[in-house]
A = this chain, B = another copy of it.
Amino acid sequence: MLEAFDLAGRIPKGQYSSIVEPLEARTAELQREVRKRGKSVIIVMEGWRGSGITRIINLLQPVLDPRGTRIHPIAEPNDIERDHDMFWRFWSRLPSYGQTAIFDRSWYTSTIVERYESDRMDEIPGSCIEDINNFEAQIISDGNLILKFFLHISKEEQKRRLNVIKDSPFTMQARYLRRKEGIYVLNRDFFMIDRMLMKTDMPASPWTIVEAESMKYGYVRVLQTFNSAVECWLTEKEGGKKELGQTYLIKTMAETEESSILKKTDLTKSYTRPEYKPILQNLQEELRNLQVEIYNHKIPVAIVFEGWDAAGKGGCIIRLAESFNPRGYIVEPIGPPNDWEKMHHYLWRFYTRFPRKGHITIFDRSWYGRVLVERVEGFCSESEWQRAYHEINVMEDELTREGTILIKFWLHIDKDEQLRRFEERQNTPEKNWKITEEDWRNREKWDQYERAVNAMIRRTTTIQAPWTIIPANNKYYARIAVLETVRSAMQKRLKEMK
Contacts and interface: CB of A to CB of B under 8 A. Distances in A.
A80 interface: yes
A394 B133 CA distance: 11
Contacts of A298: 83
A98 B343 contact: yes
A387 B139 CA distance: 13
B352 A91 contact: yes
A228 to B, nearest CB: 21
Interface string A134-156: 10001101101000000000000
B131 A398 contact: yes
A345 B126 contact: no
Secondary structure dominating the interface of A: loop
Given A127-B123, A130-B129, A139 B97 contact: no
B351 A91 contact: yes
B348 A91 contact: yes
A94 B80 CA distance: 50
Select the residue from A129, A142, A300, A391 with max chain B CB neighbours within 10 A. Answer: A142
Interface string A28-69: 000000000000000000000000000000000000000000
A243 interface: yes
Contacts of A244: 244
Interface in A326-368: 340, 343-348, 351-352, 354, 356-358
Given A96-B343, A98-B343, A351-B91, A398 B85 contact: yes
Given A85-B399, A138-B391, A242-B243, A129 B126 contact: yes
A371 to B, nearest CB: 15
A92 interface: yes
A276 interface: no
B357 A398 contact: no
Given A85-B398, A352-B92, A356-B83, A128 B126 contact: yes
Contacts of A127: 123, 126, 401
A5 B383 CA distance: 40
A138 B346 CA distance: 10
14 contacts: A87-B398, A88-B352, A94-B344, A96-B343, A97-B344, A123-B127, A126-B128, A126-B129, A138-B391, A138-B395, A141-B387, A142-B346, A241-B242, A242-B243
